[in-house]
Structure 1
Amino acid sequence: MWSIGELAEHAGVTVKTVRFYSDRGLLPEAARSAGGHRRYGPEALDRLRLIRSLRTLDLPVPDVGRVLDREDALEDVIAGQLRELGSRMAALRWREAALHLLRDCAPEERADRLRLIGAVTAPPDTAALARFWRRWLPPRLPARLTSAILEHAVPQPPADPTPDQVLAFARLHAFVSGPCPRTGTAHWQPAAHRPDEGYRPAVLYEGLIEAYGLAAADIRGQRAPYEGEALDCFVDAYARSCGTRDTPAFRRVLSGQLAADPRIDHYWQLVAELTGPAAPTPGATHDWLHAALDARSTRPAA
């Protein structure tokens, strides 16, 4: 049996370290001497070395205890630490880009940019953007459909942002966090969102998601708006949502309605700055399809 000092010497640590782990139940003593001093068996040396190895990885003491108590706990502990480390690294990358943004801007811009950046956590989350869309969307959409819309409409912050992307997200956060117009004072939402217009929003949004997917390749290829399957799907979504058919007359009416509907162009502009040109935003896709509809609707009859 070893005394606490002998165990510390064999392990190459201080007595204080052995006592610390013993007091927290990580290093049980085998017995006590007649004078009440702690005594440890040889197996304590292997356990102490394992504890030190785990602590070298910055594992918290409670996690070390889990690993010591259960052999299969190490994998879960490692996975948890990797998630935490990833979050911390993302926060550091975001802070670094934010500091570059402040350092490199003109002095007269610094106060405004500092205010914008200060309102966003690091790493940022998208809860404010999701709340904005839940206010913007028509009420009582199926939860499944709402989730699909949010997946397309709410951009994820980049893991390794540039200073310009930090600024774009900060401005986007400020935009969606501003006051929302009060319902009943004006038509601040598209006609299809207003129940008195007779639309079935769930039918509309199901069709719009499909139409946006069909148009995506053309927009990425920078092809000019044209008649085709994507436009037909787009118009059909509006037609079916209000219980009518896709006709030339309906297309003319729809083109005028979309031109008069309220828009959130600033939101989509900031999203494009954040995500880059690789993936067209739903706003850009909607504009492309509307332009294709306009071209068809204004064409003289043969």
Structure 2
Amino acid sequence: MDDHDLYPIGDAARRSGLSVSAVRFYADTGLIPPTALNEAGHRMYDIQAIARLELVRTLRELDTDLDEIRRLLDGGTTLHDLLTTHLEIVERQERTLRARRAVLRTLIKQGGTTAQADLMHKLVSMTDEERERTIDDFWNDVGQDLDVPEGFVDRLRAMRPVLPADPTAAQLEAWIELADLVSDPAFRDAVRTYLRDTYSPPEARLLATEPFQEFMHVSGATLMEELLAAQRAGQSPRSPGVQQAVIRFMEAAAGLSGTPLTPELRDRMADGYRQVPGLLRQIADEDAASGRPVYDSTHGRYLSLVALINGTPAEADHDPIPYAWIADAMRATS
């Protein structure tokens, strides 16, 4: 094939993958005129014109409109800019299709109604600002007149969902459920009741203070993870490294109440850790019997959905805490 060879419209159509009528249409609209006319007045195309026809076919398959193609062929834009723009369009369409898939899957699972379908479509179509406002409204309502230490609700609202730009179907389904829950007055009341019952009593208010929360979720969590790593590695609770780590943990815990780590306090901590599994079972049984809102169906459900949306491990995904092993480590300190 020579660059100066000319081909009749049928050959140009075959080489470009277009129909003859399409090649004729692009010529008639002035988009890609024939290179020349032969003696019989038939349209002839050189290899450059055929290459342009191939490009037009590709762009049309990407739903590029004719005005954009014309600007490209006339030099008003570059192929890179045009393709970049269309990649953004395709990615937005993909996100929309993912959202629709999540809505359809959720509706099928729930046997949803037309009204629910409309609601779910609105939920997944929210802007980032609208999502932020939805979560803020939830915590503003839950925290209103809640008798807990100052700053506690603000620390709770800091754990919030951030739907990624390219969410999975599971993340979208979690957002649909969460957005539906936080907009439900009954769920808001249940979360408020759980937080009030758990953190408002005088004997429990320490749990909601900033030092205790910082210890539980930051410094203490880091120290606890050090202990768990040692336990997973098969280290003895009496090994030097474990002993150093558990002493740091107990000193930090004792510091919450401003008391030194004495042998008596160490023994009480060890006894407490050994008793935790039984206490947890007792609390779970009492909660189930009371009929009151409980963690797993209130704040715990909120946190598990946030973890799924954010792609972070939920509490249930962590290894169980070896309370007896930690108690042995505490007892062994001198």
Instruction: Provide the TM-score with structure 2 as the length reference.
Output: 0.44
Instruction: Provide the TM-score with structure 1 as the length reference.
Output: 0.47
